Chains A and B, each alone.
Chain A
Amino acid sequence: MDKNNLKNIPKDLFVPLVRKEDTSEKISAPSRTFFQDAKRTLFSNKPAVFSMILILFIIIMSIVGPWMNNYGSDEQDLKRAKMPPRVPAFENVSWLGMNGTLSGTFQGKDVQQASAKAKARFDNKEEFIDLEVINKGDGTRNSAEVKATYRIYEAKDMKDTYFWFGSDALGRDQWTRLWEGTRVSLIIAFVAALLDLVIGVSYGGISAFYGGRVDNIMQRIAEILVGIPNLVIILLMMLVLKPGIISIVIALSITGWIGMSRIVRGEVLKLKNQEFVLASRTLGTSNGTIIRKHLVPNISGIIIINTMFSVPGAIFFEAFLSFIGLGIVPPDASLGSLIDLGFDNLRLYPYMLVFPAIVISVLMIAFNIVGDGLRDAFDPKMHK
């Protein structure tokens, strides 16, 4: 096909190219800096862009979410405890599980026994329980099966009440608590990542830049610190400090910076003996300017990548600590403590676990994908 096409082109269309001396060496595309290049690579990475949008959405929700309804995060009311999720628009979509009903299947030796079990489970309010016989049974144990749907909002005379994500064991609105918890988790993660960044970069930078005895002493200290598993340090710190946001940040940062400092030290050691730094030094540039103009721009990529990966790490550790009872304490919420409470009610009220679990999973996945995207974007091998 191609060959035929080539032959079909009339000869007179071919015009000799006149070579002009002044334009042949001209650079046609604008020259881009390293950062512009990285930005282009990052924004052409669709999963990373999508993840950034997701993260932004969750951050915005964690700020405005609690204001979107009228419940407070610590308004306890046992009368409205453990209400299932109910959203006005989704009330008629039963598979979403947001229509404000509790349901379950009950077994018994016949339909009557199974129904009795269902009624006992759902506050004995017969008029609000819809029964649907799945299996009539043959009289043997647990052979009959009945699916019961309990319209709990009507039963409790709260027809105009909507708990979008349900309410927890103390009657607090899960929607409000979820977004406030997300906010707490995000604050901890960002502050811990920022502290890692500041301490790690200064420690590693100073150690490598001054070298010699300073480096030797600082590295011996770091070597011992790195040998102590950070899990152990974090657990011990959490025992000493009063549980709360600040304690978690301190516990996470006390060893978190070491990884960053090692990377920064390695990079600075590599850079500081290179010709462009030597040239700059020969010209009499001060240490401060060398650090600012030559070292920082060259290691900023690796610093950004590392910070990006320490955010999900901190989110995980906060959730882990709160989960084992060493983190955020009630009435405050965090993603970890909400998941912990969700586990206590997993069997009967799975929605209490589902929503915080989804938020933390989405956050972690999104941060990791953005981190991967940044790594690709800042890797010089990728730009050819």
Chain B
Amino acid sequence: MTRYLLRRVWYMLITLFIIATFSFFLMKILPGSPLQAEDKLTEEQKEIILEKYGLNDPIPVQYAKYLGGLVKGDLGVSFKFDNTPVTTILFDRIGPSALLGFQALVIGSILGILLGLMASIFRNSPIDFSSTIIAVIGTSIPSFVFAGLLQYVFAVKLGWFPVALWGTPAHTILPTIALAIHPMATAARFTRTEMVEVLHSNYIITARAKGVAESGIILKHGLRNALIPLITVLGPMAVGLMTGSMVIEQIFAIPGIGEQFVTSVMVNDYPTIMGTTLLFAFGFIVIILIIDLLYGLIDPRIRLAGGK
């Protein structure tokens, strides 16, 4: 187990190093520097600014400094936004994104599991049929199309919820629904397939034979075993939430990381773009690692198979 963990962390570090290197040299290739806005400067002033951003050093030195800063959690300074350190910008904006993502994940998975469970219990019934339709639509329709529909119907036409912006809990409702649709559909699909398979396994037949009540079979024997593999789709779900957050935050004008990213893309603020990208990469890799570890911990069969 320890060996496995060390190996995984090692790969994680290599991956992060590659992404960081890649983004550093990318920043060097791309046009755009803190000087562009202030063209009418004297040579001396330019020198001072370049010195301030450390752009006078040779590239290898800059690279070393950049990596050193990364280790300390320093992502550089934004070209726009009043020269604020990127870390500060991101830190200020992580709250709304995290809240939305968490709400969407929890609501989405709970509803999805319920939907999948109902579908598997009443197999081939209208409930199953409609749950399949909801799942197909939910996984297919892009979240921004869905967000547009919600915004137009419930905010613009009916006026039940605020159209956009952030502040009260009411502001989080529409974005959360728009974000939760995809996890919900994924969870519903997955739960149904797993449940149908689990309900055909031998231990369920044994439980039936010894007279366990139907509810006990479904909840205690069936659902518990069916839900273990659900952890594996949490990874793709997290990625979906990250892409989703960019467009949804943009649509609902929520001051989160995703909206920051899209704005930075529009104004060519490379340090912020790179910082956000690194943050996304880091979050993704850590989530995958946690999921893999959890999976081994929760399912005894996997622990036995890989047991060392």
Contacts and interface: CB of A to CB of B under 8 A. Distances in A.
Interface string B244-262: 0011001100000000011
A350 B145 CA distance: 12
A365 B145 contact: no
A339 B261 CA distance: 19
A372 B185 CA distance: 15
B151 A232 contact: no
Interface in A320-350: 320, 323-326, 339, 342-343, 346-347, 350
B284 interface: yes
Interface in B247-286: 247, 250-251, 261-262, 265-266, 270, 273, 277, 280-281, 284-285
21 contacts: A227-B15, A228-B281, A229-B242, A231-B243, A232-B277, A236-B26, A239-B30, A239-B270, A323-B144, A324-B250, A324-B261, A324-B265, A326-B265, A339-B148, A343-B148, A357-B148, A361-B142, A364-B141, A365-B136, A365-B140, A367-B140
Interface string B1-36: 000000000011011001100110010011000000
Given A236-B22, A324-B262, A369-B136, A224 B15 contact: yes
B139 A368 contact: yes
A263 interface: no
Contacts of A154: none
B122 interface: no
B156 A347 contact: yes
Contacts of B242: 229, 231
A353 B23 CA distance: 35
B136 A229 contact: no
Contacts of A231: 239, 242-243, 280, 284
B91 interface: no
A129 interface: no
Chain B interface mostly: helix
A383 to B, nearest CB: 18
Contacts of B246: 320, 324
A234 to B, nearest CB: 10
A224 B18 contact: yes
Interface of A: 223-224, 227-229, 231-232, 235-236, 239-240, 312, 316, 319-320, 323-326, 339, 342-343, 346-347, 350, 353, 357, 360-361, 364-365, 367-369, 372
Interface of B: 11-12, 14-15, 18-19, 22-23, 26, 29-30, 136-137, 139-142, 144-145, 148-149, 151-152, 156, 239, 242-243, 246-247, 250-251, 261-262, 265-266, 270, 273, 277, 280-281, 284-285, 288
Given A235-B277, A339-B144, A343-B144, 12 more contacts: A224-B14, A227-B285, A227-B288, A228-B18, A236-B22, A239-B273, A320-B247, A324-B247, A339-B148, A342-B148, A346-B148, A365-B137
Given A227-B285, A232-B277, A346-B156, A323 B247 contact: yes
Contact of B15 (A228, A239, A357): A228
Contacts of A316: 142
Nearest to B22: A236
Contacts of B137: 365
Contacts of B19: 228, 232
A326 B247 CA distance: 12
Contacts of A326: 265
Contacts of B149: 357
A236 B274 CA distance: 8
B141 A365 contact: yes
A229 B281 contact: yes
- In order of increasing CB-CB distance, the 6 nearest A-B pairs are A227-B15, A364-B140, A229-B284, A365-B140, A357-B145, A232-B281
Contacts of B136: 365, 368-369, 372
A137 B285 CA distance: 60
Contacts of A368: 136, 139-140
B29 A240 contact: yes
Contact of A361 (B18, B140, B151, B266): B140
A236 B277 contact: yes
Contacts of B243: 231, 320
Contacts of A365: 136-137, 140-141
Nearest to A365: B140
